[in-house]
């Protein structure tokens, strides 16, 4: 248990830093993804807005969901939420704490994507180039063009090679204007996010510190309890499997000996451990029958009470007197069909 | 406990250095952010000033808030400030000390941003190109006031067709950059002198109070860390006992149901029975179902009283 205790202490004290690490990696990954992404504005009147806003808003949503998926604690939250009350009350404050801490971490990568997108400026330039105020920035003195035509011309602003509206409004002027607006929005967004984070972090000790300590303790407890239960079940499964298999081999060799109509050979006293471990199966034919039987009909998940773990697994000498013979016979009948 | 002691000694000696490290990283990040940022002045009369001053002052505010958020001690200080007095008196000197050390560290990254911005010059050129006196420059002599304003606004944009061939564009740009760099270096000098004086003269005033405040602020920090560690240890032990109790009660229930079959191996009760008397698929299923549908109550008083 010492080893497990050390590991659990490490995991517990570092669970937060582990989650913070994943969160930081996702933020860096989102910035890298944006720079690797090849942004291609369609430069068509109705498609620009859809493309620009889509690139601005859809990846953050995906990153947010990914943040939840990568968080190990989401299944713990779901389990605790859905479990029947039973003998243990449910505390909604604990559930809220768990959800809030996961949501906060999941929000970082999307916020980084939106900030980087706005500060770069290409999305907003693409999305809103048809709304540039031509009257103030350029020469609006060309009445020959209809609204639709004007929009078509303005939609080509992000694509410098095909832009043909230099006489209405210079390309650089429009791009600079749009990029300035985009960067202003970006910095305002960054300021807003950091202010929110600061308020959330600093208002907590002022108002709900006691409730926070309680929720944090019990959410850690639920996590540790789940891990310990899984570990105990694994230990139990191991012992169960060991005894089940031992009983299978014992049953096999006893039945085969009975079928051959001579008593099970007593291992000589000085044969040592190796003979014991052979479990009475000492020739190729018997072993093949044992293997086939294991494959064709595995033993039931039911351990015989007398054969609980003791130091000598081989109950060759003593026949347990109280053991009802009926199950044995069943097994014998089963195996003889093999 | 030895291991804990080592870890806590490490934390104590390095709490300050961890915070200094974060502060340094944030300063480097601010320089990197500035160099990565694609500064593009709008070159329009009304927008230049807003953009230039915005880029100079909004990111420092965000960096300052980041510095406060990332510093663990700010939470500790707030908790200490807001805690009910109880049986422990509150020492305002300690809180003031913690507050001032947090603020000093949080101010480094914003100051770095402002100084880098000023030394680079682009922000000030963008913001104040429209406020320059056109009479000082030859290239704007023959233009009407409105045109002059427009031309001046376009000075930061080198490639704009209106200003590209203007002879005074570079002059205005150099003039503003000179002012910007002078301002930047002056601010840097003033700050360094102030920091030097404060550090040098501090031991002359209230050194004893300072030592006390520093000791107790360290103490509060460590106390909180140890409390969290102890809570973790306690919850692990609590969970362990709770699960043992649960398996034990399952074993008792099984014994009650199957009391007709006398158990042969009396010796096995003395050993640690890893199977907990659960020797059947149905029993295992029942145990798992019980665990889900009726978790045991959070009460291990019976187990600990044995």
Model pLDDT for residues B218-260, shown as the tens digit of each residue: 899 888 888 888 888 888 888 898 888 888 888 888 888 777 5
Which H helix or E strand runs over A304?
A: none
3-state secondary structure of A270: coil
A101 CA to centre of own chain: 16
Output the pTM of the full model.
0.79
Q: Which residues contact B184 (CB under 8 A, 6 or more apart)?
A: B115, B117, B118, B119
Q: Which residues contact A246 (CB under 8 A, 6 or more apart)?
A: A279, A307, A313
Task: Report the length, in residues, of chain A.
Answer: 338
pLDDT at B189 over 60: yes
Question: d(Cα A55, Cα A124) in Å, to the nearest integer?
Answer: 10
Query: Mutate which of B34, B46, B236, B241 to test chain A, going by most A C-beta atoms within 10 A?
Result: B236
pLDDT at A194 over 90: yes
Q: What is the DSSP string of A5-66?
A: HHHHHHHHHHHHHHHHHHHHHHHHHHHHHHHHS------SHHHHHHHHHHHHHHHHHHHHHH
Higher per-residue confidence, A257 vs B115: B115
In terms of Cβ atoms closer than 10 Å to its own Cβ (0-12, 13-18, 19+), residue A95 is: middle
Of the pLDDT bands very low, low, confident and very high (cuts 50, 70, 90), residue A321 is very low
Task: Report the length, in residues, of chain B.
Answer: 306
Question: d(Cα A12, Cα A2) in Å, to the nearest integer?
Answer: 15
pLDDT at B110 over 80: yes
C-beta atoms of B271 and A309 within 8 A:
yes
Higher per-residue confidence, A84 vs B9: A84
Task: State the CB neighbour count (10 A cutoff) for residue B113.
Answer: 25
3-state secondary structure of A302: strand
The distance of B160 to chain A (nearest Cα, Å) reads: 8
3-state secondary structure of B280: strand
Which residue in A119, A176, A198 is closest to B42 by CB distance? A176
Which H helix or E strand runs over B112?
A: helix B92-120
Tens of pLDDT, residues B16-43: 788 888 899 999 999 999 999 989 999 8
- Range A196-205 average pLDDT: 89
* pLDDT, position A11: 53
C-beta atoms of A303 and B275 within 8 A:
yes
Chain B positions touching A209 (Cβ under 8 A) are 79, 82-83
Beta bridge partners of B123: none
Q: Which residues contact B118 (CB under 8 A, 6 or more apart)?
A: B56, B124, B180, B181, B183, B184, B187
Query: Mutate which of A183, A238, A312 to test chain B, going by most B C-beta atoms within 10 A?
Result: A183
Domain ranges of chain B: 1-204, 209-257+273-295
Quote the DSSP letter at residue B1.
-
* pLDDT, position A322: 40
The distance of A284 to chain B (nearest Cα, Å) reads: 32
First to last CA, chain A: 44
- Range A312-322 average pLDDT: 39
Q: At what angle do helices A92-106 and A73-82 cross, to 10 degrees?
A: 150
| Contact status, residue B154 vs residue B160, Cβ threshold 8 Å | yes
Tens of pLDDT, residues B40-88: 999 888 899 999 999 999 999 999 999 999 888 899 999 888 888 888 8
Tens of pLDDT, residues A268-285: 555 567 767 777 777 888
* Interface list for B 25-84 with A (CB within 8 A): 37-38, 40-44, 47, 50-51, 54-55, 58-59, 61-62, 65-66, 68-69, 74-75, 78-79, 81-83
Which residue in B68, B271, B275 is closest to A240 by CB distance? B275
Higher per-residue confidence, A270 vs A176: A176
Q: Which residues contact A294 (CB under 8 A, 6 or more apart)?
A: A248
Higher per-residue confidence, B300 vs A97: A97
| ipTM of this complex | 0.83
Give the Å distances, CA to CA, from A273 to A277, A309, A313.
6, 17, 11
Any chain B CB within 8 A of the CB of A240? Answer: yes
Of the candidates A170, A176, A162, the residue with the CA atom closest to the CA atom of residue A139: A170
Positive or negative, the Cα torsion across A116, A122, A125, A126?
Answer: negative
- B34, closest residue in chain A (CA to CA): A119
- Range A289-318 average pLDDT: 64
Q: Which residues contact B275 (CB under 8 A, 6 or more apart)?
A: A236, A239, A240, A243, A303, A308, A309
* pLDDT, position A287: 83
Query: Mutate which of A6, A125, A178, A180 to test chain B, going by most B C-beta atoms within 10 A?
Result: A180
Tens of pLDDT, residues A141-174: 666 778 888 888 889 989 988 888 788 888 888 9
Average pLDDT, chain B: 85
Average pLDDT, chain A: 80
Q: What is the DSSP string of B151-198?
A: HHHTTT-TT-TTTTT-TTHHHHHHHHHHHHHHHHHHHHHHHHHHHHHH
| Contact status, residue B300 vs residue A265, Cβ threshold 8 Å | no
pLDDT at B11 over 60: no
The distance of A304 to chain B (nearest Cα, Å) reads: 8
| Contact status, residue B235 vs residue B294, Cβ threshold 8 Å | no
pLDDT at B264 over 60: no
* pLDDT, position A332: 36
pLDDT at B291 over 50: yes
Quote the DSSP letter at residue B141.
T
Of the ranges A58-67, A237-246, B246-255, the best mean pLDDT one: A58-67
Give the Å distances, CA to CA, from B28 to A218, B23, B105, B112.
39, 9, 14, 9
Q: What is the DSSP string of A168-216?
A: TS-HHHHHHHHHHHHHHHHHHHHHHHHHHHHHHHHHHHHH-HHHHHHHH
| Contact status, residue B88 vs residue B2, Cβ threshold 8 Å | no
Chain A positions touching B61 (Cβ under 8 A) are 191
Task: State the CB neighbour count (10 A cutoff) for residue B151.
Answer: 23
pLDDT at A311 over 90: no
The distance of B139 to chain A (nearest Cα, Å) reads: 22
Which H helix or E strand runs over A76?
A: helix A73-82
């Amino acid at each position: 248990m010492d080893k497990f205790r050390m590991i659990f202490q490490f995991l517990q004290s570092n669970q937060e830093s582990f989650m913070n690490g994943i969160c930081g990696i996702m933020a860096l990954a989102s910035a890298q993804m944006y720079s690797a992404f090849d942004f291609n504005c369609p430069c068509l009147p109705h498609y620009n807005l859809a493309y620009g806003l889509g690139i601005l808003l859809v990846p953050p949503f995906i990153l947010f969901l990914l943040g939840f998926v990568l968080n190990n604690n989401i299944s713990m939250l779901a389990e605790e939420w859905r479990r029947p009350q039973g003998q243990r009350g449910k505390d909604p404050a604990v559930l809220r704490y768990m959800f809030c801490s996961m949501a906060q971490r999941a929000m970082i990568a999307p916020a980084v994507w939106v900030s980087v997108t706005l500060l770069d400026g290409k999305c907003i330039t693409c999305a809103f180039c048809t709304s540039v105020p031509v009257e103030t920035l350029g020469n609006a003195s060309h009445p020959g063009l209809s609204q639709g035509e004007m929009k078509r011309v303005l939609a080509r602003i992000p694509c410098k090679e095909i832009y043909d509206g230099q006489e209405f409004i210079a390309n650089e002027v429009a791009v600079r204007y749009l990029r300035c607006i985009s960067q202003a929005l970006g910095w305002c967004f960054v300021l807003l996010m950091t202010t929110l984070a600061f308020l959330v972090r600093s208002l907590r000790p002022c108002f709900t510190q006691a409730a926070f300590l309680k929720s944090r303790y019990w959410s850690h407890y639920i996590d540790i309890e789940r891990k310990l239960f899984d570990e105990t079940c694994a230990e139990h499964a191991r012992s169960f499997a060991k005894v089940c298999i031992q009983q299978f081999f014992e049953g096999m060799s006893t039945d085969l000996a009975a079928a051959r109509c001579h008593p099970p050979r007593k291992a000589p006293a000085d044969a040592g451990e190796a003979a014991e471990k052979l479990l009475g199966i000492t020739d190729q034919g018997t072993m093949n029958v044992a293997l086939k039987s294991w494959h064709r009909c595995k033993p039931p998940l039911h351990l015989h009470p007398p054969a609980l773990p003791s130091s000598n697994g081989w109950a060759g000498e003593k026949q347990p007197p109280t053991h009802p013979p009926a199950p044995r016979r069943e097994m014998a009948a089963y195996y003889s069909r093999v | 406990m030895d291991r804990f002691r080592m870890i806590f000694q490490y934390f104590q000696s390095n709490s300050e250095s961890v915070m200094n490290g974060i502060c340094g990283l944030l300063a480097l990040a601010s320089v990197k952010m500035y160099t990565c940022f694609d500064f593009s002045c709008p070159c329009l009369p009304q927008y230049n000033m807003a953009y230039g001053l915005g880029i100079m002052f909004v990111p420092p505010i965000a960096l300052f808030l980041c510095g406060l958020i990332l510093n663990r001690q700010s939470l500790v200080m707030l908790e200490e400030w807001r805690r009910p007095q109880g049986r422990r008196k509150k020492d305002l000197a300690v809180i003031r000390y913690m507050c001032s050390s947090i603020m000093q560290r949080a101010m480094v990254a914003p100051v770095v941003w402002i100084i880098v911005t000023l030394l680079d010059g682009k922000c000030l050129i963008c913001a104040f190109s429209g406020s320059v006196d056109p009479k000082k420059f030859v290239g704007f002599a023959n233009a009407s006031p409105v045109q002059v304003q427009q031309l001046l606004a376009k000075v930061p944009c080198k490639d704009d067709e209106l200003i590209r061939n203007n002879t005074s564009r570079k002059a205005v740009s150099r003039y503003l950059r000179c002012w910007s760099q002078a301002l930047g270096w002056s601010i840097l000098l003033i700050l360094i002198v102030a920091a030097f004086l404060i550090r040098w003269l501090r031991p002359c005033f209230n050194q004893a109070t300072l030592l006390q405040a520093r000791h107790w602020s360290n103490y509060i920090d460590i106390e909180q860390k140890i409390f969290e560690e102890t809570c973790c240890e306690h919850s692990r032990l609590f969970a362990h006992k709770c699960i043992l109790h649960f398996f034990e009660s399952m074993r008792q229930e099984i014994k009650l149901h199957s009391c007709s079959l006398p158990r042969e191996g009396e010796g096995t009760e003395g050993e640690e029975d890893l199977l907990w008397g659960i020797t059947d698929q149905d029993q295992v299923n029942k145990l798992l179902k019980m665990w889900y549908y009726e978790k045991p109550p959070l009460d291990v008083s019976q187990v600990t009283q044995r």
